Homo-oligomer: A and B are copies of this chain.
Amino acid sequence: MERSLKEHFEQTLQEVSIDCAIFGFHAGELKILLLRWKGTDGWSLPGGRIYKEESTDDAANRILKERTGLTDIFLQQYYTFGNANRLTHLSKQDLMELLELALGKDYFHDKINRRVVSIGYFALVEFDQVQATADWYTDEFRWWEIPDVPKLLFDHNEMVVRALHALRQQIRNQPVGYNLLPEKFTMPELQRLYETILDKQFDRRNFQKLLVSYDILEKLDEKRTGGANKSPFLYRFNKSKYEKAMIDGVSFAM
């Protein structure tokens, strides 16, 4: 293990890494996947290294697959974090102890002293499809609701803020939902997704009109039963129309 890890490190870039903000939607809430570092209570975004022969986009997709099992996911670069001192709320002393616990003696000195620029990607995933797996230096993964995200290691809190901002920009110019919702969903579910991401309430009727006008949804002959109320229709995305709308752009002006 240690040996292959060392070999892995030597085949990767030393000054550039990737950190992924992986967003999921569950129980009407937007959540983000965080990892807890081995034997510590320090949390961070899932991240990884870039092989020397690999593009950064490919590396981000690989890292996403390693952590969630998912491929063909909406994944987008949003910002590159290049502060010389990528701060943490911990003192240098505490950070060193934490890193030594999680990484072992061989790596923590390297990690704390090396100047690394991190390319931030964000992903939107279907919550129930995710088979999350911890990293070699972490022993727990967990979905956190955005307002509950704790103080994170390094500059990862800033990363979450910027990723969320990028997601909000995104949703105003491109349709969102294909990768965040199950195949079939109701209009109120889609609305709650938009409301959660944008932290804003919309009028039910206007929302429906606007989304239908994009011409990316197929209304199905099924309804979701179970609630003590009128059963809503199920919809699904028309994949080709959805992809066209991703390229051409839409205007979510609410």
Contacts and interface: CB of A to CB of B under 8 A. Distances in A.
Give the interface SS of chain A, mostly helix, strand, loop or mixed. Answer: mixed
B84 A117 contact: no
A82 interface: yes
Contact of A119 (B50, B80, B83, B84): B80
Contact of A80 (B52, B54, B80, B115): B80
Tallying the copies of this chain within the complex gives 2
B84 A53 contact: yes
Interface string A6-40: 00000001111000000000000000000000000
Which of under 10, 10 to 19, 20 to 34, or 35 or more describes the interface residues of A?
20 to 34
Contacts of A50: 82, 117
A38 B56 CA distance: 31
Contacts of A57: 82-83
A55 interface: yes
Given A13-B115, A16-B117, A57-B83, 7 more contacts: A50-B117, A52-B84, A53-B115, A55-B83, A56-B117, A58-B84, A59-B82
